[in-house]
């Protein structure tokens, strides 16, 4: 029953990430925008592709454990058998993390995996995505990179570019701080949206508690609990109904980061918040996770204030255009060829939208009903939000008499006719001139012949 429910939930989330036509509406920021804690934010409605809010979404940020999303993507795409392909915790990984913790003073999150403990790749993915286990991420990278984490990072960066994350660079698979491990809120949204197309990824990141298979070191397996407290119904402080996944990420250098999706009343959003502070100006640690706080405020605002509305319907009369070559009709009415819907603020109606038709000067009969003639631009508060093709609302036949008259008129306006006309005219003028000169000369000649000879 639990697996059936999980599969159903996965299907719902996947369906919300279907690509649809996108309008480009610049939505007003939430009224509480100045009080948001996160340095970078990107919020998109995944049903329509509408970006409802962004804040420095292209600014360079340190993703921390959000990095593990890319590690998981590569594992799901490159490992053939997640359940039977295994790897063990190697000494160099354990020593690296130990030195960071002991000598570097870094709070390194681990998943309780022992040296030389063997786990399947699927279990390692749950360890790193739920509990943010850094050794698990490095084990996956070591396995796929054939012992070279550096090579695995090359694969990560190649995949990021393929997805469209152009301002991202990964230098490690876990997200532990490195100045060369960076991204943006926009890029992380692109990466997360890509990952959420994979049902296995969705199943992993929407799981709250997971226990691994028995290992060679722990016969009862290892249990990992998700760091995403907003999807845990047992967490009364942060739980948000409808929120699912995706990943938390926290470092001293990055602040608190969080990527999630949430669905309510048929609307689904993906939200990235990055750089929420961990301490106040005095150095005191905040009692709350401010990334979670921002997430709640933004989801509440979006769900309460935005709806998909029909701003233009099929068959709506939009404009008229002059018609030629018909005795009875001098214009044809143009109708909207399709329904236009957009995610807009609750206060927006079809009356809020200005229409600007882009039409030819005229059209010639015959015209078929449904024939496309121009388009209309939809404007909201001076901004173009979309375009809809316009079609003829009726059939208009052609008058043969007007057609042939137009052909004759058109011929008279052609370059060929004008050239021939001028050429003939010039020939006539030259001929007349020639005749005048010839006749003049002839008369002079005849006049001289009639003149009597002069007497000596």
| 227 closest CA partner among 163, 175, 158, 165 | 175
Catalytic residue among 23, 48, 132, 183: 132
pLDDT score at 209? 98
Instruction: Return the C-alpha torsion angle 175, 130, 289, 59, nearest 10.
Output: 30
Which residue is catalytic, options 48, 57, 65, 260? 65
Q: Which residues contact 243 (CB under 8 A, 6 or more apart)?
A: 230, 231, 260, 261, 262, 295, 299
22-26 average pLDDT score? 62
d(CA 187, CA 57): 8
Q: Is 132 a catalytic residue?
A: yes
Q: Using one digit for the tens of pLDDT, what is the confidence trace for 60-84?
A: 999 999 999 999 999 999 999 999 9
Reported confidence tier of residue 420, pLDDT bands at 50, 70, 90? low
68 is catalytic: yes
Residue 329, marked binder: no
3-state secondary structure of 325: coil
Q: Please name the residue ranges forming H helices in 39-168.
A: 68-78, 91-102, 121-130, 134-144, 149-163
Helices 68-78 and 121-130: crossing angle in degrees, nearest 10, is 160
Question: Are the C-beta atoms of 359 and 374 separated by less than 8 Å?
Answer: yes
65 included as an active-site residue: yes
Exposed / middle / buried, residue 143 (Cβ in 10 Å: 0-12, 13-18, 19+)? buried
Summarised one tens digit per residue, pLDDT across range 151-178 is 999 999 999 999 999 999 999 999 999 9
The number of beta carbons lying within 10 Å of the beta carbon of residue 29 is 15
- CA 229 to CA 178: how far, in whole Å? 26
Identify the active-site residue in 68, 174, 190, 256. 68
Q: In the structure, what pLDDT confidence band is assigned to residue 239 with cuts at 50, 70 and 90?
A: very high
The answer to whether 372 and 389 have CB atoms below 8 angstroms apart is: yes
């Amino acid at each position: 029953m639990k697996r059936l429910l999980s599969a159903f939930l996965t299907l719902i989330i996947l369906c919300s990430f279907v690509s649809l036509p996108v309008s480009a509406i610049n939505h007003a920021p939430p009224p509480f925008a100045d009080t948001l804690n996160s340095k970078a934010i990107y919020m998109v409605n995944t049903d329509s592709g509408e970006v409802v809010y962004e804040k420095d979404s292209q600014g360079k940020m340190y993703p921390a454990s959000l990095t593990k999303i890319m590690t998981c993507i590569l594992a799901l795409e490159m490992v053939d058998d997640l359940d039977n392909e295994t790897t063990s915790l190697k000494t160099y990984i354990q020593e690296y993390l130990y030195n960071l913790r002991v000598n570097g003073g870094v709070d390194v999150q681990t998943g309780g995996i022992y040296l030389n403990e063997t786990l399947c790749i699927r279990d390692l993915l749950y360890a790193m995505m739920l509990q943010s286990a850094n050794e698990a991420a490095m084990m996956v990278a070591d396995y796929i990179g054939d012992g070279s984490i550096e090579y695995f990072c090359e694969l990560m960066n190649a995949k990021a570019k393929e997805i469209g994350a152009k301002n991202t660079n990964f230098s490690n698979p876990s997200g532990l701080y490195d100045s060369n491990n960076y991204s943006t809120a926009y890029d992380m949204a692109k990466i997360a949206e890509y990952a959420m197309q994979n049902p296995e990824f969705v199943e992993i990141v929407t799981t709250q508690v997971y226990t691994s298979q028995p290992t060679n070191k722990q016969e009862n397996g290892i249990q990992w609990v998700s760091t995403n407290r907003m999807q845990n119904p047992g967490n009364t402080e942060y739980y948000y109904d409808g929120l699912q996944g995706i990943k938390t990420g926290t470092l001293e250098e990055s602040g608190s980061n969080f990527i999630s999706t949430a669905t309510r009343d048929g609307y689904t959003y993906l939200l990235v918040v990055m750089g929420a502070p961990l301490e106040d100006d005095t150095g005191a640690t905040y009692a709350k996770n401010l990334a979670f706080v921002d997430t709640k405020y933004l989801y509440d605002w979006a769900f309460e204030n935005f709806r998909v509305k029909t701003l233009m319907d099929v068959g709506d009369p939009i404009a008229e255009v002059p018609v030629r070559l018909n005795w009875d009709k001098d214009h044809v009415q143009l109708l909207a060829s399709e329904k236009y819907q957009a995610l807009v603020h609750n206060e927006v109606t079809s009356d809020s939208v200005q229409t600007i038709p882009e039409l030819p000067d005229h059209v010639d009969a015959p015209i078929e009903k449904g024939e496309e003639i121009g388009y209309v631009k939809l404007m909201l508060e001076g901004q173009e939000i979309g375009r809809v093709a316009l079609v003829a609302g009726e059939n208009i036949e052609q008058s043969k008499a007007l057609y042939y008259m137009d052909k004759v008129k058109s011929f008279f306006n052609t370059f060929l006719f004008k050239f021939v006309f001028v050429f003939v005219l010039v020939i006539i003028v030259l001929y007349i001139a020639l005749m005048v000169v010839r006749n003049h000369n002839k008369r002079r000649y005849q006049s001289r012949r009639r003149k009597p000879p002069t007497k000596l």
